[in-house]
Structure 1
Amino acid sequence: MKKIKNEKELVRKAIDLGVTYAEKRGAAIFEPTDSANEKVEYIYRLLVHDKVIQPLPEVHVSQVSMRHKLAIWASKVN
């Protein structure tokens, strides 16, 4: 997995975009007390379910890999 230069900022952008996507779709309502890790996992699984992004092999799914995948997605959106 190649490190992205501004991955932290892209992960924050991905969380914002993912929360908006999930709420517009009616799939979830996020609370301010939800942790970033919970949001990352939910958004990743929702985008995989909707076939917006390619899924990782289940043995490679971790917080680091999900964050990386969402950062790539955020860099391509808008």
Structure 2
Amino acid sequence: MKKLKHEAELVRQALTVGAAYFEKRGAGKFEATDSASNKVTAVYRLLVQDGLIQPLAKDQENEPNMKHKLALWIERQLPDNHPLKNG
């Protein structure tokens, strides 16, 4: 797995967009006290369930890989001229 140039920023962006999707989808609402790890897992699993991203292999389902998947997902959603795009 090759790390993306702006992966940390992409993950933050993915969690922001993912949290909004999570709430609109009716899956729940994140609280300020929820850990980033819990948010990553919840958003990842919802996106997999809805068929928006491919699931990781069961033995690869860990937080760094989930973050990477979320970063790839949000990068594809960004416009071509966005500063976080690897280009």
Give the TM-score of the pair, scaled to structure 2: 0.87
- Aligned residue in 2 for 1:30: 30
> Which residue type is aligned with residue 52 of structure 1?
L
Distance 2:52 2:45 in 1: 10
- Aligned residue in 2 for 1:11: 11
Structure with the bigger percentage of helix: 1
Question: Can you give the 5+ residue segments of structure 2 that lack an aligned partner in the other structure?
Answer: 79-87
- Aligned residue in 1 for 2:82: none
For 1:25-64, what aligned pairs fall within 5 Å after superposition? 25-64=25-64
Distance 2:14 2:45 in 1: 13
- Aligned residue in 1 for 2:83: none
Distance 1:37 1:77 in 2: 22
SS at match of 2:20: helix
Question: Can you give the 5+ residue segments of structure 1 that lack an aligned partner in the other structure?
Answer: none
Distance 1:29 1:6 in 2: 27
Name the % identity: 53
SS at match of 2:34: coil
| Aligned length in residues | 78
Specify the structure having the higher radius of gyration (Cα).
2
Give the TM-score of the pair, scaled to structure 1: 0.97
Which segments of structure 1 move beyond 3 Å, counting only runs of 4 or more?
Answer: none
